Structure 1
Amino acid sequence: MQRIFAADIGGTNARFALFTGHEGSLGLDTVVWEKSADLRTAEDLLQIMQRQLQTPLAEGDMLVIALAGPTHGLRGKLTNGPLQVDLGGVGQRYGLSCCLLINDFTAQAFAALTPRGAGAKVVRGRALPDTESTQTKAVFGAGTGLGAASLVCCGGEAGFRHWLAVPSEAGHAPFAFVGAEEHAYQGFLARDLGCDMPTAENVLCGEGLSLLHYYLSGQFYYPAMVGEQVLSHDTPTLHWYARFLGRFCRQWILNTLSRGGLWIAGGIVAKNPQCVEHPAFLQELAAGGDVGGIVHATPILLTTDANSGLWGAARAGLEHLRGQTLAASAKG
């Protein structure tokens, strides 16, 4: 039996949980949410984590922090907030034997292996992904920014295979516009943003959603209001956005060969599921080439559980602990 402390830190919310791991499965013991605006250092984060979970970190086998920002080793920075994390020496100070710092979409990728991944809402394809499948899985989500990652099986015995999360900067790749109407919008977007090649993040994230609605209607709404006022019923903005979303999904499936499933995590789509229910989304998925029928065969799911990142962080912790055990066995 292993106890894993997990944190999922975003620009607005900081989520903390305590999990129990046993023979490759996870159980959630406690979960609490706090605002992340006042977090500045790793000490702030860990102190509030202990206090809110009412459990000393020394009682855990593993600490995993998923951070919405760039990470390198045990250091990272929250993109939309003042928090800077340095976990060097934390284990000794808090009595922890093992610490792990990962990007939030690495956690979302690992969440596909948990009950939250299996229980995600099916957008298209079979009702449930095959949990025993070793096929590559992928995830992305568009909110303030666009995150994307994939999960590749690297072997191991049945029941607990070894998985490797592959990070990505797919959100910063140029978006593929098609046809005269879309190229006219591309020109507008490029002028407004002051860039030559708008990216997928420019198109699919909150700012891009506001600009898309302004271009099509002449009305400017902040992203949250676009969701409430415009995406809630069939409008040109919903039609265009659903088409753009379907195109990115098709490209990401082909880029990652994610036959094991594509999970759309959180952000705009979780709050506005009609974006993936609109006919334009499915039509765009079916457009263009589909080598070997990969796109058609890949199930697409929508993660609506806001705690999925915590589950993914804990699953990453299990993976890390399992790797340590196997390495120790090999040396012995």
Structure 2
Amino acid sequence: MSKDFEIILAADIGGTRARFALFETGGGVRLAHRVELETARHASFAGLLQAALEALAGHGTVPSAAVLAVAGPVERGRFCRPPNIAYAMDLDTLEPGLLPAHSVLINDFAAQAHGCRLFGQERSQEVLPGAMDPSLTQAVLGPGTGLGKAALVPDGRGGYVVCGSEGGHAAFPFNGPEEQRFQDFVLEITGEPYVRWEGVVSGQGLALLHRFLSGRKVSPAEAEASLEASSPVCGWFARLLGRACRDYVLEVMATGGLFISGGVAARNPVLLEHPEFTNEFRLSATHARLLGNVPVRLVRDQDVGLWGAATVGAALLGRCP
């Protein structure tokens, strides 16, 4: 293979779906082939990788690097124990030769952040107006199986640093007696010591909210299917998502804008069109003006994380994406 043409294996492995793709380098990166698997159908990390590689093997290409974005905290680029996946991911225990020598794990929302920096403007739609400004800190947040967060921070040299977060596992701030009753409900159902952000602002949280308000136990997919702008579930979830976005923007001072990603938001833009989202996002006793100037965009393209992982792979090979 020509030294001007190499292949990168990129992955975006979430608690529900695992996307894998082969990208070609050379004048940037180009998506060549893509497969999508159900994460829970596989009993191990190695089994998931084998299934993905077999599905991609017919294309006759051997990757020179692999960047696997996973939904959890990554240690030294080699190990992750995702909170919403039944198995750990350890590159050092894989069969030799299964992946190329240049292989790393990165957090899934770090990959989302890299992808949003490249394509966020063109592959997203406006939620709240304003010009995204990459010279300032930008935030990326998204509800899916869990709740992911990352920040894009200028490095002072014209580039940026991606700062990951496990803030989805911090304690959720409930307000008022109605929300306190919901808090008690979630604690009783989950048995956890406190309600986490992603226990509320996620697909699982949406199903719990539906159960709390309607008395009917449903799956996350069923809860999504029943969302309507006029429903109490939609109003509640829009408010809680607005709170998640507001608090993270303030935590990292993301005055350059916020990208909202993640499957729940991407599939249900009605949540961001609801007035409860905007009202909660801009609600602040001290920084209402600052929040009123922060632009917000919804990333509908669910492959942005794959593109972000591919750009990290290109950097591993010394190639500018």
TM-score tier after normalising by the smaller chain length: 0.7 to 0.9
- Shift in Å, 1:202: 1.9
After superposition, the C-alpha distances for 1:99-153 in whole angstroms (9 at most, x for unaligned) are 2211211111111122255421221123x634xx232222122222212121222
In 1: Cα distance, 2:164 partner to 2:154 partner: 14
- Shift in Å, 1:250: 0.6
Residue 231 of structure 2 aligns to which amino acid in structure 1?
A: T
- The structure 2 residue matched to 1:109, chosen from 84, 109, 113, is 113
User: Which SS does the other structure have where 2:117 is aligned?
Assistant: coil
Which residue in the other structure is 1:26 paired with?
29
Please identify, of 28-37 and 268-277, the stretch whose mean Cα deviation from structure 2 is larger.
28-37
- Shift in Å, 1:209: 2.0
- Shift in Å, 1:49: 2.3
Q: Does 1:14 align with 2:11?
A: no
In the TM superposition, what are the counterparts of 1:93-132 in structure 2 within 5 Å?
Answer: 93=97, 96-116=100-120, 118-126=122-130, 129-130=132-133
In the TM superposition, what are the counterparts of 1:286-301 in structure 2 within 5 Å?
Answer: 286-291=282-287, 293-301=289-297
Residues 156 and 318 (structure 1), Cα distance of their counterparts in 2 relative to 1, 3 Å cut: farther
In 1: Cα distance, 2:138 partner to 2:60 partner: 34
In 1: Cα distance, 2:197 partner to 2:174 partner: 10
In 2: Cα distance, 1:318 partner to 1:292 partner: 40
In 2: Cα distance, 1:15 partner to 1:237 partner: 30
- Unmatched 5+ stretches in structure 1: 326-332
- Shift in Å, 1:199: 2.1
- Shift in Å, 1:256: 1.2
In 2: Cα distance, 1:31 partner to 1:183 partner: 44
- Unmatched 5+ stretches in structure 2: none
In 2: Cα distance, 1:68 partner to 1:144 partner: 9
In 2: Cα distance, 1:122 partner to 1:196 partner: 37
Which residue in the other structure is 1:166 paired with?
163
- Shift in Å, 1:237: 1.4
In 2, are the aligned partners of 1:114 and 1:315 still within 8 Å (CA)?
A: no
Residues 86 and 55 (structure 1), Cα distance of their counterparts in 2 relative to 1, 3 Å cut: farther
- Shift in Å, 1:47: 6.9
Which residue in the other structure is 2:65 paired with?
62
In 1: Cα distance, 2:276 partner to 2:308 partner: 31
Q: Does 1:243 align with 2:244?
A: no
- Shift in Å, 1:184: 3.2
Which residue in the other structure is 1:270 paired with?
266
In 2, are the aligned partners of 1:149 and 1:165 still within 8 Å (CA)?
A: yes
User: Which SS does the other structure have where 1:112 is aligned?
Assistant: helix
In 1: Cα distance, 2:93 partner to 2:154 partner: 31
In 2: Cα distance, 1:275 partner to 1:44 partner: 33
In 1, are the aligned partners of 2:210 and 2:233 still within 8 Å (CA)?
A: yes
In 2: Cα distance, 1:208 partner to 1:275 partner: 14
Which residue in the other structure is 2:223 paired with?
226
Q: Does 1:255 align with 2:251?
A: yes
Please identify, of 300-309 and 9-18, the stretch whose mean Cα deviation from structure 2 is larger.
9-18
- Shift in Å, 1:317: 2.4
Task: Report % sequence identity.
Answer: 35
Q: Does 1:147 align with 2:148?
A: yes
In 1, are the aligned partners of 2:123 and 2:301 still within 8 Å (CA)?
A: no
In 1, are the aligned partners of 2:67 and 2:103 still within 8 Å (CA)?
A: yes
In 2, are the aligned partners of 1:20 and 1:26 still within 8 Å (CA)?
A: yes
How large is the Cα RMSD of the aligned pairs?
A: 2.9
In 2, are the aligned partners of 1:254 and 1:294 still within 8 Å (CA)?
A: no
In 1: Cα distance, 2:294 partner to 2:304 partner: 21
User: Which SS does the other structure have where 2:49 is aligned?
Assistant: helix
Which residue in the other structure is 1:329 paired with?
none
In 1: Cα distance, 2:48 partner to 2:194 partner: 40
In 1, are the aligned partners of 2:14 and 2:145 still within 8 Å (CA)?
A: no
In the TM superposition, what are the counterparts of 1:303-322 in structure 2 within 5 Å?
Answer: 303-322=299-318
Residues 173 and 80 (structure 1), Cα distance of their counterparts in 2 relative to 1, 3 Å cut: closer
TM-score, normalized by length of structure 1? 0.82
Residues 98 and 178 (structure 1), Cα distance of their counterparts in 2 relative to 1, 3 Å cut: same
Which residue in the other structure is 1:330 paired with?
none
